[in-house]
Chain A
């Protein structure tokens, strides 16, 4: 079976912290980042709760030292901050030493600016600079520019809530195929009226703290975040004597082919994705020590994913938890956020609690881990499931 692809750096900004270290402290300190919305003026502000990053765009721009003529969307700002952290953590000082690409994920892209200036564009010339940012790839181009990636492969994946997991998957494939020596992979999504109202019309937004895998769950909290990993080939790791944080050992993507937005009741897609990832990793279900579940706290997801977990693991289901109660559902970024959390779990031998859980779901017997638990971990499985039936699984390991 295939060898794992080395992860040598990571960066993150989310509602529970502006760095990897801050995120970890919040996770083990059981500190949620869920609150009422502050930065977006929406009529739903008293009916929803969100995982929001406590910086204005101006503050984020100044962190990146951008001039006032910049046309960065919030997605690009968050993405650039997280990606730069990842590069620094991987101790990369000259990006051009090796052939380096960027695979980023987003679903919102520059929609925050589009929805703000949709009609104003027609009148106000100074705002027209944001028109270039309409396409989803714009945020990736800006992240590449911030990292100094030129003449290289820079692309964007958008498969709804599994996007960043898929970016990691494609990045791993590019390294395995020898197409790139090094690739920055992850995702970024900011909060927007577009997604708030979209999920509102689907009636899957909770009016209080989200409660994954709870019988009385009321839906999800939207969140905003960005996270990136640096993947490097074995040759680079060896030549540079790199410290490896963990390995991308397995990956699988499958389609539920059931409904445009809902997951099949039996979790066909999620089952297939987990089975494929185990196969690529050359591991058996019993080798997985912790499952970081997608667990959005919608009625549909948690039922479907829970059934898939039972189908794949049977009696061998290890501790599982969803970290969405901390961060909210960060859509296209979620797979990268949870990749960082899975790697931290491996490094620190710890399983995070599934916060806010009270009542056992009646459809099955499995129960998430509800308290912080120390356990030596060698393999962590992370799920990301999205609209369009898109189901993805990543497996991270300590050893290659």
Chain B
């Protein structure tokens, strides 16, 4: 089995993350319950005529993947694996509402074509002229981790040498509206600086794309080594600590070998209790960080978490605004990530400095 490295990163998010020479030097603070991603200069990456026809998810995906490829000094890769919870949501909403509003008449194919979940992965392949393996995972909060696991296995088993892996999701107006109805989105505006103190139900929704080049050869400039990924469809709070210890044991590690725990707290008073189980228990003496106040919550928000952790390992510095506790560690070698959404679809990811 070969070792697997995160060779490069590319991010479009609710923060100015598209410039890889910086690392959250300047934090955007929002007073909101829905936060759109900050647009990079799309024209620097996509011809304007083509960009006009593209859903935001496609544009964010193409830009993030191009940044990751250029960061890795590559023109193409052996495979492209994408995670997306909802695909190009805006076009899907458009097509459904057009069917209903026009009673199945006067429809055009554009929205339907873009509504297919693998549109972003397919468009990136078209853009790179990459005829390699191309998969899209669409499973709520573990969409990205499924892609990561697939890539890890292929690289470890030497089926590929370089793989572009990413997570991408966009906001859609109707989806936002109905998720407010069921309180998955907070009823009130919340300052992102005080997200975890909100004490209310629901999350602040966001969007974004985070792509990575993974390789089984360690090259100059690599961000991190990917040690392990695990996905659990269900998990009771009482079993979380034990599951985490078991996961660490598969990598022959213990809690004290972890220098930073990065978690997906989203300010939902009901479900953040999972994270508290770890932060107040097993990891109470370990430095902790969080990120959804910067990225917003979306099905592939955890890809922003992996972006953050990769940058932390490479820059050897934890941004002040991401710190969950005041504990410091003399070294920054291993980061453990934990995420779940509404108590389901849990993921553990383990990264190591390289």
B131–A131 contact, CB under 8 A? no
Closest to B122 in A: A388
Distance, CA A144 to CA B345, complexed state (A) = 12
Kindly provide the distance from the CB of A40 to the nearest chain B CB, expressed in whole angstroms.
Answer: 11
- Given the interface contacts A118-B97, A200-B107, A387-B122, does A260 sit within 8 Å of B113 by beta carbon? yes
Kindly provide the distance from the CB of B265 to the nearest chain A CB, expressed in whole angstroms.
Answer: 21
B96–A155 contact, CB under 8 A? no
B233–A153 contact, CB under 8 A? yes
Q: Is B290 an interface residue when CB atoms closer than 8 A count as contact?
A: no
B100–A119 contact, CB under 8 A? yes
A255–B132 contact, CB under 8 A? yes
Closest to B142 in A: A155
A88-134 CB contacts (< 8 Å) to partner B: 102, 106-107, 109, 111, 114-115, 118-119, 121-122, 128, 131-132, 134
A254–B133 contact, CB under 8 A? yes
Distance, CA A132 to CA B97, complexed state (A) = 19
Of residues A114, A157, A174, which shows the largest number of chain B Cβ atoms within 10 Å of its Cβ? Answer: A157
Distance, CA A71 to CA B131, complexed state (A) = 39
Chain B residues positioned under 8 Å from A153 (CB to CB): 149, 230-233
The size of the chain B interface, using a CB distance under 8 A, is 69
Q: Is B178 an interface residue when CB atoms closer than 8 A count as contact?
A: yes
Distance, CA A155 to CA B232, complexed state (A) = 9
**Interface readout for A148-167 with B: 1 if CB under 8 Å, 0 if not?**
01111111111110000010
Q: Is B215 an interface residue when CB atoms closer than 8 A count as contact?
A: no
Which one, A42, A150, A254, contacts B132 given CB within 8 A? A254
B91-142 CB contacts (< 8 Å) to partner A: 95-97, 99-100, 103-105, 107-109, 112-119, 121-123, 125-126, 128-140, 142
Q: Is A269 an interface residue when CB atoms closer than 8 A count as contact?
A: yes
Closest to B87 in A: A158
**Interface readout for B145-174 with A: 1 if CB under 8 Å, 0 if not?**
010011001101100000000000000001
B139–A159 contact, CB under 8 A? no
Of residues B153, B178, B299, which shows the largest number of chain A Cβ atoms within 10 Å of its Cβ? Answer: B178
B233–A257 contact, CB under 8 A? no
Closest to A254 in B: B131
Chain A residues positioned under 8 Å from B135 (CB to CB): 157, 159, 166, 170, 253
B113–A137 contact, CB under 8 A? no
Kindly provide the distance from the CB of B59 to the nearest chain A CB, expressed in whole angstroms.
Answer: 15
Q: Is B266 an interface residue when CB atoms closer than 8 A count as contact?
A: no
A198–B115 contact, CB under 8 A? yes
Distance, CA A109 to CA B138, complexed state (A) = 10
- Given the interface contacts A157-B135, A198-B109, A260-B113, does A388 sit within 8 Å of B119 by beta carbon? yes
- Given the interface contacts A157-B138, A173-B153, A390-B134, does A152 sit within 8 Å of B178 by beta carbon? no
Q: Is A235 an interface residue when CB atoms closer than 8 A count as contact?
A: no
Q: Is A44 an interface residue when CB atoms closer than 8 A count as contact?
A: yes
B232–A115 contact, CB under 8 A? no
Closest to A176 in B: B157
Distance, CA A272 to CA B132, complexed state (A) = 9
A197–B140 contact, CB under 8 A? no
Q: Is B330 an interface residue when CB atoms closer than 8 A count as contact?
A: no
Chain A residues positioned under 8 Å from B100 (CB to CB): 115, 118-119
A137–B139 contact, CB under 8 A? yes
Which one, A43, A122, A144, A256, contacts B181 given CB within 8 A? A122
**Interface readout for B252-280 with A: 1 if CB under 8 Å, 0 if not?**
00000000000000000000000000000
Kindly provide the distance from the CB of A196 to the nearest chain B CB, expressed in whole angstroms.
Answer: 8
Q: Is B332 an interface residue when CB atoms closer than 8 A count as contact?
A: no
B137–A155 contact, CB under 8 A? yes
B122–A389 contact, CB under 8 A? yes
Distance, CA A157 to CA B118, complexed state (A) = 9
Distance, CA A140 to CA B182, complexed state (A) = 22
Chain A residues positioned under 8 Å from B243 (CB to CB): 151
Chain B residues positioned under 8 Å from A137 (CB to CB): 85, 138-140, 142-143, 345
A257–B138 contact, CB under 8 A? no
Chain B residues positioned under 8 Å from A122 (CB to CB): 177-178, 181
Kindly provide the distance from the CB of A164 to the nearest chain B CB, expressed in whole angstroms.
Answer: 13
Name the prevailing secondary structure of the A interface residues. mixed
Chain A residues positioned under 8 Å from B126 (CB to CB): 257-260, 389
Distance, CA A42 to CA B104, complexed state (A) = 8
Which one, B146, B174, B344, contacts A118 given CB within 8 A? B174
Distance, CA A153 to CA B142, complexed state (A) = 10
Of residues A44, A150, A272, which shows the largest number of chain B Cβ atoms within 10 Å of its Cβ? Answer: A150
Chain B residues positioned under 8 Å from A382 (CB to CB): none
Distance, CA A152 to CA B150, complexed state (A) = 15
Closest to A102 in B: B233
Q: Is A202 an interface residue when CB atoms closer than 8 A count as contact?
A: yes
Q: Is B21 an interface residue when CB atoms closer than 8 A count as contact?
A: no
Q: Is B218 an interface residue when CB atoms closer than 8 A count as contact?
A: no
A247-306 CB contacts (< 8 Å) to partner B: 253-261, 268-269, 272
Q: Is A70 an interface residue when CB atoms closer than 8 A count as contact?
A: no
Distance, CA A134 to CA B150, complexed state (A) = 24
Of residues A150, A257, A389, which shows the largest number of chain B Cβ atoms within 10 Å of its Cβ? Answer: A257
Of residues A109, A128, A255, which shows the largest number of chain B Cβ atoms within 10 Å of its Cβ? Answer: A255
B107–A201 contact, CB under 8 A? yes
Which one, B104, B116, B130, contacts A160 given CB within 8 A? B116
Distance, CA A320 to CA B70, complexed state (A) = 44
Closest to A387 in B: B116
- Given the interface contacts A134-B175, A256-B131, does A387 sit within 8 Å of B139 by beta carbon? no
Q: Is B220 an interface residue when CB atoms closer than 8 A count as contact?
A: no
Kindly provide the distance from the CB of B50 to the nearest chain A CB, expressed in whole angstroms.
Answer: 12
Distance, CA A115 to CA B175, complexed state (A) = 13
Kindly provide the distance from the CB of A203 to the nearest chain B CB, expressed in whole angstroms.
Answer: 8
Distance, CA A160 to CA B131, complexed state (A) = 17
Which one, A128, A138, A150, A390, contacts B178 given CB within 8 A? A128
Distance, CA A179 to CA B156, complexed state (A) = 12
Chain B residues positioned under 8 Å from A170 (CB to CB): 135, 150
B96–A255 contact, CB under 8 A? no
